[in-house]
Copies of this chain bind each other. A is one copy, B any other.
Amino acid sequence: MAHAQKIPSRRGPERPRTFAVIMAGGHSTRFWPLGRRRLPKQLLALTGRQTLLQETAARLVPLVSARGLLVVTAAEHAAEVHRQLPRVPKDNILVEPRGRNTAACIALAAEWITTNHGDGLMLVVPADHVVRESDALRDALTRAGALARQGDLLVLVGMQPTRAETGYGYIRLGGPVPSTIGDQAAWVRAFHEKPARATAQRYVASGEYLWNSGMFAWTARTFLAALESCLPAVRRPLAGVWSDREPAARLRRAYRRLPNVSVDVGVLQPLSKQRRGPARIAVTRAGFEWFDVGSWSAMPELWGCDEAGNAVVGTLVAVDAGGCVVYAPDRLVALVGVRDLVVAESGGALLVCPRDRAQEVREVTRVLEQRRLVRFL
């Protein structure tokens, strides 16, 4: 495996030209009772001692300094983000007054870069992914970044699919991108969101598709130009926001009007259909182990299993019990005669539900609200 290298055009710590933009604005409470309103998925230590955000930042600092890290997050999570990443300057933590999906999130970071640094390469990554092979991730981002900078392109990191996953987006590959950087990049022909199982199987078998990882590389100016052409309703209210005297007040006004739209739906998919215009979309192929941890039921992939198929954080006594996900670091858990359950204990609250209904934990938070059991939210 090639070791990651710093992108050569970076000028130095005083004026970083490459920025890692960590999208940490998620509000997922699907890991309740561990996850709470004030502690969404990306701020949880699901895999070890570090939180997903901390792991994400640690993976990126070999590519950019702490001053080159930008974190976009929600107002109610900003203090916790600062606590978890004390070396990132406070000015680099960009606070959204409310969540407006990834188009606005990336636009906010692009504005910050153009205002403060004229332009810069953006390596955009979600805060809540689990990646084991950090070197391979850095290698993929480095290649994507070099390509983006070289060709004035919007570049996606596409993952080699390993199964007919129906929960991910797929990228259909076009022809090869002529490139001097030795990378087998391809043009993006089309996007397909969350296909049916049979379709997903066909995609994987064809070899013509990659998973959309949600990781991107482009320069701030290239992105803002694409946004202007596809999604001016996001571009214009944010234009120049960081040179405003009171950016917080300006942001509050702007975010009230912004459409809630992802960068995929609002920018990349429209651009992939329009064959002319300022930006073209390419994809670099990556093959490292990567998880978008959606719920408790995915934990066996992260934690591994015992011989009965139980994935456990804590101490488990299993009597004829298997296939369960147990998170209870402070408890002894005894399971007798049960299969495929999630049992999770944290902060005075306990969840028991079948693994295939782990998504419905959101319903619990709705009931907690109704019953005003706010200390468990």
User: Is A1 on the interface with B (CB-CB < 8 A)?
Assistant: no
Q: Shortest beta-carbon distance, A33 to chain B, in Å?
A: 7
Q: Shortest beta-carbon distance, A130 to chain B, in Å?
A: 24
Q: Which residues 330-377 of A sit at the B interface, judged by CB distance below 8 A?
A: 330-338, 341, 343, 345, 348-354, 357, 360-361, 363-364, 367-368, 371, 373, 376
With an 8 Å Cβ cutoff, the count of chain A residues facing the other chain is 36
Asked if A330 contacts B348 (CB within 8 A), the reply is yes
Q: Shortest beta-carbon distance, A361 to chain B, in Å?
A: 6
User: Is A317 on the interface with B (CB-CB < 8 A)?
Assistant: yes
Copies per complex of this chain:
2
CA distance in complex: A191, B355 (Å): 49
CA distance in complex: A332, B361 (Å): 14
CA distance in complex: A319, B352 (Å): 11
Interface centre among A315, A336, A364, by most chain B C-beta atoms within 10 angstroms, is A336
Asked if B360 contacts A331 (CB within 8 A), the reply is no
Per CB-CB distance, the 4 closest pairs between chain A and chain B, nearest first, are: A336-B353, A337-B357, A332-B349, A334-B364
20 examples of A-B residue contacts, CB within 8 angstroms: A315-B373, A317-B367, A317-B373, A319-B367, A332-B350, A332-B373, A334-B350, A334-B351, A334-B352, A334-B353, A334-B361, A335-B352, A336-B352, A336-B357, A337-B354, A337-B357, A337-B360, A338-B341, A338-B353, A338-B354
